[in-house]
Amino acid sequence: MKAGFIGLGHLGKSMAKRLISEGVELIVWNRTKEKASDLGARIADSPAAVLSEVDILFLNLFDTDAVEGVISGKDGLLAGDCGGKSVVDTTSNHFARVAHFHQLFREHGGAYLESPVLGSVIPALQGALTVLVSGEKEVFEKALPYLEKLGKNIFYLGKPGLATKMKLINNLVLGSFMATLAEAIAFGEHADIPKSEVIDILAAGAGNSAVLNAKKEKLLKEDFSTHFSSSLIYKDLHYLQDLARVLKRPLFTGSVAKELFSLTFSKGTDTLDFSVIYRIMKEL
């Protein structure tokens, strides 16, 4: 099996490593070339150069502007031959712009799949992500053998836009719950309950969740090395606010959570793991 991969941030690099460990021959490109140096994969000179050598190509980028740049920028994907090629975009995108990406690749003889993932670095390395997919069914079936190497649960939602919207809805829960856990732990400590006991009790009670299980050690050790950054959850919650506006419905907890994560920018911790919100709560 052979594929292209563009975008080697924390999550993208973990996904690329997983595909390589599963026997996929990868050709990669990243804006910062050094991030690809330890993968053992061939590094292409441009996005277009990657696409010229593969039939299926994965994207994992910071936001929709970055995706737009890789697709339509200088030496971007559309500068190459897209005929018969499939682009699987695992980025958490803005819901209003993915329809344009579907259209662009159709016009150039290729295909585009929205395929945002739920989960972070550790499940990516384990092939235990949850994968959401929207796009043409036959393109999904072509990509499925690769997606099965990355994801434990795969949901095909069909209609363009739905996978992206569902990812944002999932991150409403993720961001709100992380902020609530951080506040509860800090609150418990200020009430003179040791942090480890607060966490253990929450894990045995109302706080029991995949979020707490994933972030328990980070919270205990205050090791906020990045798996999923605060800037990313802030971006996703901002996209979600745009969706709420289009749907003409309020967004209560998501809006509060977004503003809490905005504090990481003024503290200079926005690039750290989003569990760093605990530090902000503790300092209040």
Element (H, E) at 5: strand 2-6
Which segments of the chain does DSSP mark as H helices, in order?
A: 10-21, 47-51, 64-72, 98-107, 121-126, 137-150, 162-190, 195-204, 210-221, 230-247, 253-266, 277-283
Report the greatest alpha carbon distance in the chain. 64
Cα distances (Å, whole numbers) of residue 106 to 51, 110, 159 = 15, 5, 15
The pLDDT of residue 35: 87
The pLDDT of residue 53: 95
The pLDDT of residue 34: 87
Give this prediction's pTM. 0.95
Rounded distance between C-alpha atoms, residue 20 and residue 180, angstroms:
37
Element (H, E) at 6: strand 2-6
Domains and CATH numbers, the chain: 2-158 (3.40.50.720), 165-283 (1.10.1040.10)
The pLDDT of residue 162: 98
Cβ pair 261, 237 in contact under 8 A: yes
Rounded distance between C-alpha atoms, residue 257 and residue 271, angstroms:
17
The residues of the chain scoring below 70 in pLDDT are none
Segment 199-222, tens digit of pLDDT:
999 999 999 999 999 999 999 999
Q: Which among 69, 58, 168, 52 is positioned nearest to 113, based on CA atoms? A: 58
Torsion angle defined by CA atoms of residues 42, 43, 46 and 50, in that order, rounded to the nearest 10 degrees: 20
Phi, psi of 60 (to 5 degrees): -145, 100
